[in-house]
Amino acid sequence: MKQFSGKRVLVTGACGTVGSELIRQLLSNGNYDPAEVVGIDNQETALFFEDQTYLHDSRARFFIADIRDRDELARRMQGIDVVFHTAALKHVVLCERSPDQALQTNISGIQNVIAASIEAGVEKVIFTSSDKAVNPTNVMGTSKLMGERLMTAANSSKRNESAPVFASTRFGNVLGSSGSVIPIFHNQIAKGGPVTVTATEMTRFIMSIEEAVRLVLDSALQARGGEVFITKMPVIRIWDLALAMIDELATRYGFEPDQIEINVIGPKPGEKLYEELMSEEETRRSVELKNYFSVLPAFRGIYHDIDYSYDTLVTEEVDKAYVSSTELAKSVEAIKGILYEYQLLEEPDDESDTRYWPGDKESVE
């Protein structure tokens, strides 16, 4: 049976990296076969072009809507079965500068999604979270953590079995996404260097957008209610990523790899040298599945019990936090394979070769 056969699916943040890929996979992958896919976003121009992409697919419909508008959300969710909530303010420094705006979108907006989905009788709501929600060091990460808590609380407080199933999914860096370091490294190499790396020991969880979204879709099928699904992801050192890209790209632009220097520029305020996808505290209430860890609610259902029985259960005991610095990092050669597999060595559209950090403005006297 096809996984979303006959279902009507709504995606918030339809023009974002994750939202647009969700829509693409739902409409193009024959394993899903939804009856309708509705995309909403508050970016008019981007939404227009997204609409044009699916002009000849009668299942695709797009609307201007803001998740801050609860009434509009309720209207658009009428008849919807599954909601993927990806809309958010995600840029760390901009959220730091305007915390009230981050609160309105990333916290109040999620509460609006919850209320509208209950009113519309949706079956499932999946919230896409971030590694920055774990032990957050900034406003954006804190707002994402609160979003997870709101989803879990909504699930534990529902009074009947027909209410939506609410769950979250948390993952790390998406290779090649907006703001990714890969196109910046590419452009720096094309100009002969130097390539700027934050720190030699910096590690990150990584995954292609295609794989990340496939696992988001799968988590919707796994969800029992209130969990946070944590995607298992490969780990790389950013230094090794720079080496791999230099090896593969230098000669394309007329340089020898040993001609390209790497400069260590140091971490920015609030930037971690490692990524955390699951904290030590969360391990005590987590189970391991084939492709995920599932962090179960600290406070179980108030009005009903939930059976957290998963078909792909590996173990009910997780004994260590999921942190990039303690996981085995991919070798330079393995990173090269990943770059080719996901076609990440093509010339980027953006010509920027500077790791722009808006926070630098605040430090200028």
Q: Which residues are catalytic?
A: 132
Find out whether 358 and 92 touch, Cβ atoms under 8 Å.
Answer: no
CA gap 129, 141 in Å, rounded: 9
CA distances 6 to 3, 82, 284, 297, Å, are 9, 11, 38, 30
CA gap 45, 340 in Å, rounded: 32
Burial of 266 from C-beta contacts in 10 A (0-12 / 13-18 / 19+)? exposed
The two counts, helices (H) then strands (E), for the chain are: 12, 17
Residues 6+ apart with CB under 8 A from 185: 195, 241, 242, 245
Q: Angle at Cα 236 formed by Cα 234 and Cα 241, nearest 5°? A: 130
Phi, psi (degrees; rounded to nearest 5) at 134: -90, 120
Helix (H, G, I), strand (E, B) or coil at 286: strand
- The torsion angle over the Cα atoms of residues 15, 18, 21 and 23, rounded to 10 degrees, is -70
